[in-house]
Amino acid sequence: MRSRPIVITEVGTISALGIGFSNVASSLSQPPRKSSVKDFEFHQFSSEVPCYAVRDFDPVEVLGKKGLRNKDNSTKFLLGTFDTGLKSVMESTEEENRPGICIGTAFGSVQSIGDFLSDSIVNGVNNVNPQAFANTVINSPTGNANIRYTSRNLSATISTGFNSGLDALIYACDHIGMGYLDRIAAGGLEEISYYSLLGLERTGILSKSGDLRAFALDSDGVVAGEGCAVFLLETEESAKARGASILGEIAGVGSAFNPDARKGSSGTDAAVHAIKAACDEAGIDPDAIDFIASAASGNRLSDQFEADAITTVFGTKKPVTAYKMFTGECYGASGALNTMCALSDLRNSRISGTGPAYNTIGDIPLVFDTVQKESTYVLVTSFSCDGNCGALVLKNVK
């Protein structure tokens, strides 16, 4: 167990679930809200592509007009998440002790990167806006947040594919646990872009039906999403010293990598290791986990090895939910968004159901109808077919 308990005191979010942590519970009680995209500035799809897009977010209304002209969507999402969820604590802290910032993303501002190159091809290199180049750096959103809030203690961007959001939380916990900082704003960020959608389409994992069904025996793929979730993580001592309300505790984390994933290996061993490592750090037996917030997305390969890992550790009696059925597959943001949803369910004594029932891989006990349940521990997973495996144990502190 950790010598310095690490707690969550603030949460900010912008996603298909809406804006603000306080709205997550009600959004999880409603049917998923999907939309679609087709046209981008330089490229278009032949037909509408189903997705879970950010809704109800007006950057000018939230952030003000000044300085937004050269900010891309990823940066606006991150700054908006801070302004609607963590602004007061960032601005009320003296600059030398302001929380560091650590954000996970798989693709970063990939729309800006692709558009910068497309602009130079279509309009000529001499006509490209040089100020747009700053958005092509993967640390650009994080750096802009550091600048806006004068946060000089840490500026880190974690990019480990689909696991980036959870890995950013793990990185921040390790950083705090080693005593480098007492507080870090950490989370995940991703935007829907033409280039990432095209990549997913060409790999064949986008759902042709536009229906994301986690762990489904007949799943036909993922539906893309976008969004951002950021947590203020700090030591328990720090939170109590400033009289902050504690929303939950990150009791343990674990990670592993399966080097043979790209050769077709299932990754089950790595996933099992990550789960057990997180439980070990939390000082609990896996049986103490009350429910599992899975990474399942409708991708048959990764859903299969996660199902194998869950049944290996827990059998088929532990309740499992899949929040991506409300947010979509948000790549690097998914681990953070799943953690946020799990925290909401913990605090509201429930497990959110995913909707109409269907047959699941390995008879995974997916929760289809929302149930009221007092829980102490929830396991959040982030497993990817690229071999990265991460797990996090959230503890209820009500």
**pLDDT per position as a tens digit, 142-154:** 999 999 999 999 9
The reply to whether 6-248 and 251-395 are identical in fold is yes
17 sits in which H/E element: none
> Tens of pLDDT along 289-298?
999 999 999 9
How much is the average pLDDT of 201-227?
Answer: 95
Question: Does 2 have pLDDT greater than 90?
Answer: no
- Delimit the domains of the chain by residue range: 6-248, 251-395
How much is the average pLDDT of 243-271?
Answer: 83
In CATH terms, the superfamily for domain 251-395 is: Thiolase/Chalcone synthase (3.40.47.10)
Q: What gap in Å lies between CA 223 and CA 192, rounded to an integer?
A: 11
Question: What's the start-to-end Cα distance of the chain, in Å?
Answer: 20
What is residue 267's predicted lDDT score, i.e. its pLDDT?
A: 63
> Tens of pLDDT along 350-377?
999 999 999 999 999 999 999 999 999 9
Percent of the chain's residues with pLDDT above 70:
98
Strands 320-321 and 291-293: parallel
Contact present, 234 and 240 (Cβ < 8 Å)? no
What is residue 261's predicted lDDT score, i.e. its pLDDT?
A: 60
Contact present, 229 and 336 (Cβ < 8 Å)? yes
Q: What is the mean pLDDT of the chain?
A: 93
Q: What gap in Å lies between CA 217 and CA 224, rounded to an integer?
A: 20
Question: Does 379 have pLDDT greater than 90?
Answer: yes
| 250: confidence class by pLDDT, cuts 50, 70, 90 | very high
Core vs surface per residue 253-273: b (16+ CB within 10 A) or e? bbbbbbeebeeeebbbbbbbb
Q: What gap in Å lies between CA 124 and CA 29, rounded to an integer?
A: 50
DSSP reduced 3-state for 138? coil
Structure tokens that stand for 161 in this block: 């594919």
How much is the average pLDDT of 94-107?
Answer: 93
Query: Which residue is it, tokens 């509408």?
Result: 48
Structure tokens that stand for 319 in this block: 């309740």
Question: Does 263 have pLDDT greater than 60?
Answer: no
| 323: confidence class by pLDDT, cuts 50, 70, 90 | very high
Question: Does 285 have pLDDT greater than 90?
Answer: yes
> Tens of pLDDT along 72-91?
999 999 999 999 999 999 99
> Tens of pLDDT along 134-177?
888 899 999 999 999 999 999 999 999 999 999 999 999 999 99
Which residue type does 328 have? Answer: G
Q: Which of 4-18, 87-101, 283-297 has the lowest mean pLDDT?
A: 87-101
Question: Does 206 have pLDDT greater than 70?
Answer: yes
> Tens of pLDDT along 331-353?
999 999 999 999 999 999 999 99
Q: What gap in Å lies between CA 226 and CA 230, rounded to an integer?
A: 14
Question: Does 207 have pLDDT greater than 70?
Answer: yes
| 262: confidence class by pLDDT, cuts 50, 70, 90 | low
In the 3-class helix/strand/coil scheme, how is 23-86 assigned residue by residue?
Answer: HHHHHHCCCCCCEEEEECCCCEEEEEEEEECCCCCCHHHHHCCCCCCCCCHHHHHHHHHHHHHC
How much is the average pLDDT of 9-29?
Answer: 97
* Burial bucket for residue 24 (CB in 10 Å: 0-12, 13-18, 19+): buried
Question: Does 286 have pLDDT greater than 80?
Answer: yes
Evaluate whether the domain defined by 6-248 bears CATH number 3.40.47.10: yes
What is residue 188's predicted lDDT score, i.e. its pLDDT?
A: 98
Query: Which residue is it, tokens 């603030």?
Result: 10
Please state, in angstroms and as integers, the Cα–Cα distance from residue 35 to each residue in 16, 79, 201, 352, following that order.
9, 23, 17, 22
